[in-house]
Amino acid sequence: MTAINNAGLIIKNMIKSDRIPGAFIFEGSPEITGVFADMLAKSAVCSDLDYKKDNGEACGVCEACRKALRKIHPDIIIAEPDGDGAQSFHIEKVREIIDGLYLSPNESDKKIYIIKDMQNMTPQGQNALLKSLEEPPPFAIFIITAANLDLLLETVRSRAVKFNLWDGALDAPQDNCGEIIKNILGRNPDKLSVYQDIIKNLEKSGKSGVLNFYYNLENAARDILIVKIFADNLSGARFLYFDNNLEILEKYAGNYSVKKILELCGKIQEYKSDLEYNANTRLNLSSFFSAII
Ligand SMILES: [Zn+2]
């Protein structure tokens, strides 16, 4: 799965569960980051909650969606540089954002700030914005796009859930989730050292990589659960992680009880939400693996 597909899936899941973090950074070309920023902003203001819960995206037809489409929704605020060059995103624009930040949204429950090409923002601007990222009002969602994360202050980067959308970029380790589940649920006496290795690898991929790991692991566990519960009637079943590879799935499914897999799914969800809400990545990972020993 490409980084872009993966990011799309993660964001859909956030929208389905109505738990959208307060700050995102999309790294990539202006075209692709723009598409993601648009999609997320629309989904945040769309008023058809049932549709969002089922589909993980904006309905496209409600009043809010129509306004968003015509770029006249008062709760989607776009800030961008004055030109193309470095330092062309001036602190005055940031001040405008900060001045209006604590005013309640006009029509939606959320207020979305799309901050484009942040790599061109002056350090003074970034510092000014940082205060808002640290203590945002509960209704605010910041969507930052940038060609290169290295040009953002580390303090800004660490406040947001990050997605690398450059083509071909891998922002998640493509671990073998089946093997990881086997380790978690099986009787491997070396569990602890296996966990240490997994944690060390995952940490390198940053917060978005670890979030991807949880989503993959949850999908893998769900696939195994389906095979266990519906063993006799699997025609038409769609698997999210194992790509309809029944032979492998049955191999994993044979070994564990439904109760154990359900427990694992619960823990994954718990620690995934925790991380979405800004928990420290290393702490989150080690608590997750200690919780499931
Ligand atoms: Zn809508």
Distance 64 CA to ligand 1 centre (A): 6
Output b/e per residue, 252-273; b: 16+ Cβ within 10 A.
Answer: bbeebeeebbeebbebbeebbe
User: Which of 149, 290, 286 has the alpha carbon at shortest distance from 210?
Assistant: 286
Distance 7 CA to ligand 1 centre (A): 21
**Averaged confidence pLDDT in the chain:** 87
Q: Specify the fold of 177-291.
A: Zinc Finger, Delta Prime; domain 3 (1.20.272)
Distance 16 CA to ligand 1 centre (A): 13
Residue position matching structure tokens 């083509």? 167
Domain ranges in the chain?
A: 3-164, 177-291
Distance 19 CA to ligand 1 centre (A): 17
Instruction: Give residue 188's pLDDT.
Output: 73
Distance 62 CA to ligand 1 centre (A): 4
**Residues 179-221: pLDDT tens digits?**
888 888 877 777 788 888 888 888 877 777 788 888 889 989 9
Strand-pairing partners, residue 25, are 144, 162
User: Which of 43, 49, 50 has the alpha carbon at shortest distance from 75?
Assistant: 43
Distance 46 CA to ligand 1 centre (A): 4
Distance 48 CA to ligand 1 centre (A): 5
Distance 133 CA to ligand 1 centre (A): 27
From residue 134, give the alpha-carbon distance in Å to each of 78, 131, 157.
20, 5, 11
- In the predicted model, what is the mean pLDDT of residues 75-93? 91
Best CATH choice for the domain 3-164 from the list 3.40.50.150, 3.40.50.300, 3.30.565.10, 3.20.10.10: 3.40.50.300
Instruction: Give residue 167's pLDDT.
Output: 61
Distance 34 CA to ligand 1 centre (A): 19
